[in-house]
C-alpha cells in the first residue's frame, strides 16, 4: 500500500462523514474545523410544545425549527393540510389560527402555543360537513384536490371576514390560494353559496 492510497482512503472517509471535500482537507492537514462547521453538525435542543389543534391539546417534543405545517402533518398525522411551495406563496397549507387564516408553512410550531389551530380535519361536526365543504362538492370546485383543503380553510375565513360580497371580491381576497387546475370559477361559486347560507354577505 502506498502512502498515496492511505491518503486517498482517509480523504474519502472524511468526506462521507462531513459531506465536504474541504473538511477532508482539514482532516488531512490536522487542523481543527472552524466553529461554524462544528455548530452546523449540532442538532438544536428539542422543545416541549403544547399545541391545541381541532379543540384537542397535544404535547409534542419538537425540533425548534419545526413549522406548524410539519407539526400537524408529520407529528399529528393530520395530512389534510398540504405542502405545496413551503414558501408562503401557494396557500395549500392554509389553516385557521384563532379563526384567522395563516399559512402554516411560515409559522413555527413553538411560537403558536396556546393558539387554537383548526385544520380541515376539524371543520366538519361529526358526520355533518361544514357548509363550504358541502358547497365545494356540490359545485365541483376541485379537480386534483391538492389545493382544496387550503382553499376551503381560506374560504371559511374569507366569509367570516365579510369579504365574500361579490365574485370579484372573493377572487381578490382568495388570491393567496393558487389552483394549478384552474378551478377558480367553481371555487368562487362555492364560496358565494356558503356565504349566502351563512348570511354573512356584507359587501365591501
Ligand atoms: S405550502 Fe405554504 S404557502 Fe405554499
Ligand atoms: S384542484 Fe388541483 S390544484 Fe386546485
Task: Say if pTM beats, i.e. exceeds, 0.85.
Answer: no
Q: Could you say which of 3.40.50.720, 1.10.10.10, 1.10.3720.10, 1.10.150.120 is the CATH number of the domain covering 131-196?
A: 1.10.150.120
Cα(178) to centroid of ligand 1, in Å?
A: 10
Sheet with 56-62, edge to edge strand ranges: 56-62, 47-53, 116-118, 94-97, 100-103
150-186 burial code (b ≥16 CB/10 A, e <16): bbbbbbbbbbbeebbbeeebbeebbeebbbeeebbeb
- C-alpha to C-alpha distances, 69 to 40, 80, 105, 139, 150, nearest whole angstrom: 24, 10, 5, 28, 12
Q: Which atom of ligand 1 is nearest to the CA of 69?
A: 2
Q: Which residue has the higher pLDDT, 204 or 129?
A: 129
Cα(85) to centroid of ligand 1, in Å?
A: 5
Checking if the pLDDT of 103 tops 50, the result is yes
Mutate which of 92, 179, 185 for ligand 2 pocket (most atoms within 8 A of beta carbon): 179
Assign 43 a pLDDT band (cuts: 50, 70, 90).
Answer: confident
Cα(183) to centroid of ligand 2, in Å?
A: 7
Query: How large a percentage of the chain has pLDDT more than 90?
Result: 76
The predicted pLDDT at position 42 comes to: 82
Least confident of 28-42, 124-138, 150-164, 182-196: 28-42
All CATH 1.10.150.120 domain ranges in the chain, comma separated: 131-196
Q: Which residue has the higher pLDDT, 4 or 35?
A: 35
Average of pLDDT values for 30-39?
A: 49
Q: Which atom of ligand 1 is nearest to the CA of 90?
A: 4
The predicted pLDDT at position 38 comes to: 54
Assign 37 a pLDDT band (cuts: 50, 70, 90).
Answer: low
Amino acid at each position: 500500500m502506498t502512502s498515496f492510497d492511505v491518503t486517498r482512503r482517509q480523504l474519502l472517509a472524511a468526506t462521507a462523514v462531513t459531506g465536504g471535500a474541504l473538511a477532508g482537507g482539514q482532516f488531512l492537514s490536522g487542523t481543527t474545523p472552524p466553529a461554524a462547521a462544528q455548530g452546523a453538525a449540532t442538532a438544536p435542543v428539542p422543545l416541549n410544545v403544547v399545541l391545541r389543534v381541532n379543540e384537542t391539546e397535544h404535547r409534542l417534543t419538537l425540533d425548534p425549527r419545526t413549522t406548524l405545517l410539519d407539526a400537524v402533518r408529520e407529528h399529528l398525522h393530520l395530512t389534510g393540510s398540504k405542502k405545496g411551495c413551503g414558501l408562503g406563496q401557494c396557500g395549500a397549507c392554509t389553516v385557521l389560527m384563532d379563526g384567522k387564516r395563516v399559512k402554516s408553512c411560515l409559522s413555527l410550531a413553538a411560537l403558536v402555543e396556546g393558539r387554537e389551530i383548526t385544520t380541515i380535519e376539524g371543520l366538519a361536526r361529526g358526520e355533518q360537513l361544514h357548509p363550504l365543504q358541502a358547497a365545494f362538492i356540490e359545485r365541483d370546485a376541485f379537480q386534483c384536490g391538492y389545493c382544496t383543503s387550503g382553499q376551503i380553510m381560506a374560504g371559511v375565513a374569507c366569509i367570516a371576514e365579510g369579504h365574500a360580497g361579490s365574485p370579484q371580491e372573493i377572487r381578490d381576497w382568495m388570491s393567496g390560494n393558487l389552483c394549478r387546475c384552474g378551478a377558480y370559477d367553481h371555487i368562487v361559486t362555492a364560496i358565494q353559496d356558503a356565504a349566502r347560507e351563512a348570511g354573512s354577505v356584507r359587501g365591501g
